[in-house]
Amino acid sequence: MVPVLSGSNRPCAVCRRVHRDLTRVLGTSAPDDWLAVSAGERMEAELTPDVCILPDHGTTRHFIRGHIQLPVVDPDPDVFVWSVWTEVDESSMECIARNWSDPNRAASAPLSGRLATELPYEQPTRGLQLTIYTRDPGMAPLLMVSSGSQHPLAAEQRDGIALHRVAEFAELLAR
């Protein structure tokens, strides 16, 4: 079952439409770089729902899937989630792998990564600096955009969004 934001019966203050049953989580099943390589290169790589290992001209790149949560503040409190991929260095990947099944992995120190998914914003999102907080097993890591970032995604994560913005995201991705 796809988690949804129930919405409101009231018309939206921005567009005058009623926003109901919007998808609560939007994202991709692979990092953008996975989608950019050939089928032959993918045979040398590994992709699971949570991890991607991608050989790249003699080096190995490491990606994990995580969630960027945006508080929905209008009309009712809720949460919208971008399910995205972040690139991490080898030592961070080793730490993640070592603690993946640990029931106390949420107590692990935060890690750093870079956003590896382009999201529908006017400014590019790939490469944004992220802090990675592992959570309990079964939960995707929580990703926080760098507090020093001036990107609109950072502002939305900090300040929240209206339900209308969630409807915009769904519409942009449907194109």
Residue 33 Rama label (left phi>0; alpha psi -120 to 50; beta): alpha
Question: For residues 5 and 160, which has the higher predicted lDDT (pLDDT)?
Answer: 160
Is the distance from CB of 52 to CB of 85 less than 8 angstroms? yes
Rounded to 5°, the CA angle 77-80-83 comes to: 160
- In the block, tokens 């790589």 appear at 45
Task: Return the closest-CA partner of residue 68 out of 161, 162, 132.
Answer: 132
Model pTM?
Answer: 0.91
Candidates 66, 38, 60, 55; CA nearest to 128 is 66
Domain count across the chain:
1
β-partners of residue 133 are 142
pLDDT beyond 90 at 128: yes
Predicted confidence at residue 74, as pLDDT, reads 82
Specify the 3-state DSSP secondary structure of 125. coil
User: pLDDT at residue 1 above 70?
Assistant: no
**Cα 110 from Cα 131, distance rounded (Å):** 6
Looking at residue 104, its pLDDT comes to 92
Q: Which residues of 42-58 are buried (b: 16+ CB within 10 A; e: fewer)?
A: eeebeeeeebbebeeee
Q: Is the pLDDT of residue 130 over 80?
A: yes
- Enclosing domain of residue 71: 4-174
Task: Give, in order, the Cα–Cα distances in Å from 138 to each of 49, 93, 104.
Answer: 12, 17, 12
The answer to whether 84 and 143 have CB atoms below 8 angstroms apart is yes
Residue 175 to residue 69: CA distance in whole angstroms: 23
